[in-house]
Amino acid sequence: MNAKEFYLSKPWLKHYPEGAADKVDIPEGMSVPDMFEKSVAQYGKKTALIFYGREISFVQLKELIDRFATALADLGVKRGDTVALFLLNCPQYVISYFATLKLGAKVTPISPVYTSHEIKHQLEDSDASIIVCQDILYDNVERAGVPLKHIIITSVLEYLPRVKKLLGKSLLGKDYANLHVPNPEEMAKAGLLDFEALIKRYPPNPPQVKIDPKKDISALPYTGGTTGLPKAAVLTHHNMVSVIHQIKQLWPFLEDGKEVGIAFLPFFHIYGQVVAMLNGLARGFTGVLFTTPDIDDILDAMEKYKASTFNGVPTMFEFLKEYEKTYRVNWQKLKIIGCGADTLHDSTVEAWEKRTGSKIHEGYGMTETTGVSHSNPHNKTKKGSFGVPIPGMKAAIIEYEGSEYIPVGEVGELILNGPNIMQAYWKREKESKDSLIDIDGEKWLRTGDIVSMDEDGYFYFFDRKRDLIKFKGYSVFARHVEEVLYKHPQIKAAGVVGVPDPKVGNIIKAYVVLESEARGKISEEDVMNFCSENLAHYKVPKIIEFRGELPKTDVGKVSRRELREEGDA
Domain with residue 149: its CATH number is: 3.40.50.980
Q: How many domains does the chain have?
A: 3
Question: Are both 261 and 162 inside the same structural domain?
Answer: no
Domain that holds residue 63: 58-219
Question: Are both 311 and 209 inside the same structural domain?
Answer: no
- Which of 463, 498, 532 is a domain's end point? 463
Write down the pLDDT at residue 105: 98
In a domain, 231, yes or no: no
Q: How far apart are CA 444 and CA 151, in angstroms?
A: 38
In a domain, 89, yes or no: yes
Question: Are both 290 and 321 inside the same structural domain?
Answer: yes
Evaluate whether 103 touches 77 at the Cβ level (below 8 Å). Answer: yes
Q: How far apart are CA 178 and CA 499, in angstroms?
A: 38
Q: How far apart are CA 118 and CA 419, in angstroms?
A: 30
In a domain, 167, yes or no: yes
Give the CATH number, domain containing residue 307. Answer: 3.40.50.12780
Residues with Cβ within 8 Å of residue 240, at least 6 apart in sequence: 32, 218, 219, 274, 278, 370
- Which of 431, 463, 495 is a domain's end point? 463
Q: Residue 543's closest CA among 503, 502, 501?
A: 501
Write down the pLDDT at residue 176: 59
Q: What phi-psi label fits residue 45: left (phi over 0), alpha (psi between -120 and 50 degrees) or beta?
A: alpha
| CA dist 256 → 205, 246, 281 (Å) | 28, 14, 10
Residues with Cβ within 8 Å of residue 88, at least 6 apart in sequence: 112, 134, 156, 172, 176, 266, 291, 292
Question: Are both 71 and 193 inside the same structural domain?
Answer: yes
Q: What is the mean pLDDT of residues 64-75?
A: 98
Task: Quick: pLDDT tens for 455-487.
Answer: 999 999 988 877 888 887 777 888 889 989 999
CA dihedral 376, 378, 381, 385 (to 10 degrees): 0
Give the CATH number, domain containing residue 523. Answer: 3.30.300.30
Using 50, 70 and 90 to split pLDDT, how confident is the model at 565? confident
Task: Quick: pLDDT tens for 374-387.
Answer: 999 998 999 999 99
Q: Which residue has the higher pLDDT, 342 or 459?
A: 459
In a domain, 433, yes or no: yes
Question: Are both 85 and 176 inside the same structural domain?
Answer: yes
Question: Are both 479 and 338 inside the same structural domain?
Answer: no
Q: Which amino acid is at 294?
A: D
Q: Which residue has the higher pLDDT, 168 or 375?
A: 375
Q: What is the mean pLDDT of residues 155-182?
A: 71
Question: Are both 454 and 477 inside the same structural domain?
Answer: no
- Which of 152, 185, 219 is a domain's end point? 219
Question: Are both 432 and 491 inside the same structural domain?
Answer: no
Task: Quick: pLDDT tens for 254-275.
Answer: 999 999 999 999 999 999 999 9
In a domain, 40, yes or no: no
Question: Are both 510 and 370 inside the same structural domain?
Answer: no
Using 50, 70 and 90 to split pLDDT, how confident is the model at 174? low
Task: Quick: pLDDT tens for 408-437.
Answer: 999 999 999 999 999 999 999 999 999 999
In a domain, 387, yes or no: yes
Question: Are both 249 and 378 inside the same structural domain?
Answer: yes
- Whether 369 has a pLDDT exceeding 70, the answer reads yes
In a domain, 117, yes or no: yes
Evaluate whether 182 touches 138 at the Cβ level (below 8 Å). Answer: yes
Question: Are both 349 and 401 inside the same structural domain?
Answer: yes
Question: Are both 311 and 444 inside the same structural domain?
Answer: yes
**Whole-prediction pTM value?**
0.87
What is the percent of the chain with per-residue pLDDT over 70, rounded to a whole number?
Answer: 95
Using 50, 70 and 90 to split pLDDT, how confident is the model at 227? very low
